[in-house]
Amino acid sequence: MKAISILGTSSNAGKSWMATALCAWLRRQGVKVAPFKAQNMANNAFATLSGGEIGVAQAVQAEACGLVPTVEMNPILLKPNGPDGSQIVRLGVAGENATARDYYRSIESSWETVRETLDHWNSECEVLVLEGAGSPVELNLMDRDIVNLRPIEYLDGKWLLVSNIEYGGVFAQIIGTWNLLPESIRARGLGVAVNRFRGDLSLFDGAKREIESRAELSYLGVVPFDRALAIDDEDSLNALTEAPQTGRPYVAWIKYPRVSNSQDMLPWKHDEGVDSIWTSDPRVVRSAAAVVLPGSKNTLEDLRWLREADLDLAVLELANSGRPVVGICGGKQMLGRSLYEPRAGTTVQGLQLLPIDTEFLAEKRVQRNEAKLGDRVWETFEIHTGESRVGTGVQYGRLFEVRKAGERAFTADGMKVGNVWGSYQHGIFDAPELRQLLVDEAGIAGVLICRDDWKQKRMKVYDAMADSLERYLDLDTVKRYLGV
């Protein structure tokens, strides 16, 4: 098995994008390729068929490889939940919460999990594409880093470096990273690519000379920014707060501090005549055609923040005006009557828009499902700890049907009370019919909903990403190493 690690000069350098594009490119070469990230820190999680959790980025990369995502693609997942640290998910199973200090004290046990998983891949694929984390030369962390350099040394593999020109100082990023790498690691470098360039590419013509004269590293080229080639973010923190376009109707997605599974919004980006934006501004919510409360890693803390920011009042105003209000997972819980935390023995009042009461349980539900609306059948998934009960004698509508893992029949799912929706299913808007229903209820005219199957749409994007690599980068060093 050959191994290529995608390292970055910083966080958000484009490692996830480059790894995904490389996976798609190798698949098209007929190579049996698989993705891997030793340790991920993200609240954007994906539920595997086995009921495990992995980072969304590795699920995306698996899809680009033509594979079904498995927990072996991301053996360690850290899910930040606030000042108490992160929940540690090992091989898909949620475990204890730990602070960074406590986690690093036992880093060797995590490395053992990573090492065993790397051994697993040796017999499962021809090429393993590893995604790094942050920068490989964080000097205060290098002795505890199990994501960047250690896996590639263990596999005797090679690496590519990616730098984001949007941050500025791109030459300093690249040359500085090179100079701080250990000599043994430098020898494994296949080259460097500059990412997210906007404007005239000829303005960067001198980059090859400047970089290769200062580092013994091949310059592969520069990849221009293309909004149409966006993929699911590794972490919700990458979802920028956006301002609405003047005069255009929009769906407001509330970006609370611990928002999770922000990829639920991505299908809206392919529709015309309506915008979908992230916001933390009550004024933006009040002017929206509809509002979505997405998932949360810490529902109670984000509900408290919602109230402190006066966003609860903005949501209630929207609901009272008859415009649609949608809650997904933790957002659904916030829209309910009450939220009970048995460990603390406390009950918090919800926004009173859905007739449900939620109790947080120790056991987390992680499962993949099939959803159905009319003739449309698509995949959804659940990742949550709370269970919600409906009050006695309450009348409400259903949004769609779901066939859960291990069940033979579809049953009614989702909750609709007037103009307020609630669902535990992530991925509900992958169905164009549900986006159309929300647009119709919001009274937005002139909208053209993209009717493509969302999975097929994603595969077209992956192929276009591979095209971009072939067009803009010199991949000769990669081809020689892999023998393709």
Please identify every residue annotated as catalytic.
Answer: 329, 426
Query: Cβ distance 84 to 99 under 8 Å?
Result: yes
Q: What is the DSSP string of 82-119?
A: STT-EEEEETTEEEEEE-HHHHHHTHHHHHHHHHHHHH
State the first-to-last Cα distance of the chain, in angstroms, to the nearest integer. Answer: 14
Q: How far is CA 376 from CA 63, 371, 430, 460, in A?
A: 21, 8, 10, 20
Pairing of the two strands 127-131 and 33-36? parallel
**Residue of 71, 67, 70 whose CA lies nearest to 32:** 67
**Complete edge-to-edge strand list for the sheet that includes strand 250-254:** 275-279, 250-254, 290-293, 325-328, 420-423, 415-417
User: Which one, of 440, 461, 456, 459, lies nearest residue 273 by Cα?
Assistant: 440
- Residue-wise DSSP of 206-243: THHHHHHHHSSS-EEEEEEP-GGG----SSGGGS---P
| Helices vs strands, H then E, count in the chain | 15, 26
d(CA 267, CA 272): 11
Q: What one-character DSSP code corresponds to residue 244?
A: P
Q: What are phi and psi of 387, to 5 degrees?
A: -120, 130
Give the torsion sign (CA, 208, 209, 211, 217): positive
HSE-up (13 A, CA, CB side) for residue 171: 10
Going by C-alpha positions, the residue among 450, 71, 436, 424 that lies closest to residue 264 is 424
7: phi > 0 → left, psi -120 to 50 → alpha, else beta; which? beta
Please give the C-alpha separations between residue 390 and each of 295, 334, 358, 417, in angstroms, as whole numbers.
20, 14, 9, 12
